[in-house]
Amino acid sequence: MEGSRSIYIIGAQCTGKTTLVEDVAVALQSHGAKPVTTIKELARGILNTANITRDDIRAGNAGAMEFQKLVLGAQLNEELDRERRGLIVSDRSGIDPIAYATLYGPPEVARELLESDAWRVLREKMRKGLIVLCEPVPEWLFDDGTRLMPADDAEWYELHTVFISLLQQTGITYEVLPATCTSREERVARVLERWRSK
């Protein structure tokens, strides 16, 4: 399957996803993989244009839940646009907005997202890809002024647990990148090893 499967780097905030996506893309290109295209984190850009704040997300208000739907749709559009350009390495996935809606919104919003056509397509793509769930690393948690920050470590780990539950519930196989693996080189090596072997 090497060369054909998308790679999704997912998980709670501040778990090293963006750095890992960039490092994996560089490594794949340097090893002669077919053209590699990355999907950058979409939520941040939408957050800046949708008149939604991180406090709105925590409150789970209607605007914040509409924001999660926009993120899901944007992920689908990006994947459909980029799948013809080469191997996709994605900073987050379709399941990320569902995880945030599950933790912070009313139950019917997560249910609606899970029943959406966009999620059905994204779920099948994820089932064919390599899913790497980054475990929280306590010393990496920091506030950049934009991203939603957990109230405490317990809330941070709760979001990680929500990801696990949703992945299992939707039948998506995943690999956990443990918090003990903090070396950039080792993190990349683990991802590439799993990508080549699955």
| CA nearest to 138, candidates 122, 160, 123, 116 | 160
Q: Please give the backbone phi and psi of residue 93, each rounded to the nearest 5 degrees, phi first.
A: -155, -175
Torsion, Cα 22 25 26 29, to 10 degrees, reads -170
pLDDT digits (tens, 9 = 90+) for 90-115: 999 999 999 999 999 999 999 999 99
Helix, strand, or coil (residue 152): coil
At 175 the three-state DSSP class reads strand
Indicate the DSSP class of residue 136.
P
Strand partners, 7: 89, 130
Give the 3-state secondary structure of residue 7: strand
Spatial CA neighbour of 172 closest among 136, 137, 133: 133
Q: Which of 15-24, 46-55, 177-186 has the lowest mean pLDDT?
A: 46-55
What whole-number distance in Å separates Cα of residue 92 and Cα of residue 69?
15
CB 16 within 8 A of CB 134: yes
Residues 6+ apart with CB under 8 A from 84: none
Condensed to tens digits (0 to 9), the pLDDT of residues 26-44 reads 999 998 767 899 999 888 7
| Domain annotation for the chain: domains and CATH numbers | 7-197 (3.40.50.300)
Residue 99 in tokens = 């995880």
- Per-residue pLDDT tens over the stretch 153-176: 898 899 999 999 999 999 999 999
